[in-house]
Structure 1
Amino acid sequence: MTDILAAFFVLAGSFFMLVASLGVFRMPDLLTRMHATTKSGVLGAGLIMCGVMLFFLDSGVVLRALAVMAFTTLTSPIAAHAIGRAGYFIGVPLWDKTVKDELHGRYDEETHVLHSPEHIKDLQDKP
């Protein structure tokens, strides 16, 4: 019974990893690609690790699988944020149907400083 459950988790994780890889090809810009790969990739890797834990049922394997799950859950969103932010600041174009760009006008390209809306208002009020 545990083999069937482990196979289910591995197949479900593989499906989500497939969805993540399709998101790289189907999404129109860097930010939506990063969103697709981060969400589905972490879920897929976590489900595969759950299947590995169920299949082997060894404390060493379980601890390593939990470590992999924790590492991907903590680092993948941070890495995606850093890559997306770097792409935005170097000028990677957004999708033409992007509705809202909250960073537009806040980034000073000369000093590489991102200002809050209150700071921009203070700078505009000064003579």
Structure 2
Amino acid sequence: MAFRSAFPMLACDDLQRSLEFYRDALGFQETYRFEEGGVTTFVALRLGEGSLIGLGVVPEGGSGIHGLAQRPISGRFFELCVYCDDVDSSVEELAALGHPVLVAPTDTPWGERIAYVADPDGHPVMVTAEKA
């Protein structure tokens, strides 16, 4: 058995707010959009050459095709890591856009500078770069 790639998909409370974060603030590019009755319910995004993420709307109490409940969200079961050139300036820009900083930029023992911000649904997003 061989798998080729992974495509994480997030259930969002407010798809437009999530697009503003992932597309507009982090620089993901929209690659696909699905609408039902004129309402966008799913968007696929790409960052760079191969990083993909899907954002979808699931109504309160709703479930996915698999039948498991996806709403309401309980806890934070998702964390995304995005690489950038400058953690400090990137986090400063995200904070200026109103995204909460969960952990201020700090150096790690494994050779990266990291920080955490929250996406519009409260998921932690690690902003990281290799230390110069």
Q: Which has the higher contact order (CA 8 A, sep 6+)?
A: 1
The alignment's TM-score, normalised by the length of structure 2, stands at 0.29
Larger radius of gyration: 1
The alignment's TM-score, normalised by the length of structure 1, stands at 0.29
Larger helix share, 1 or 2 = 1
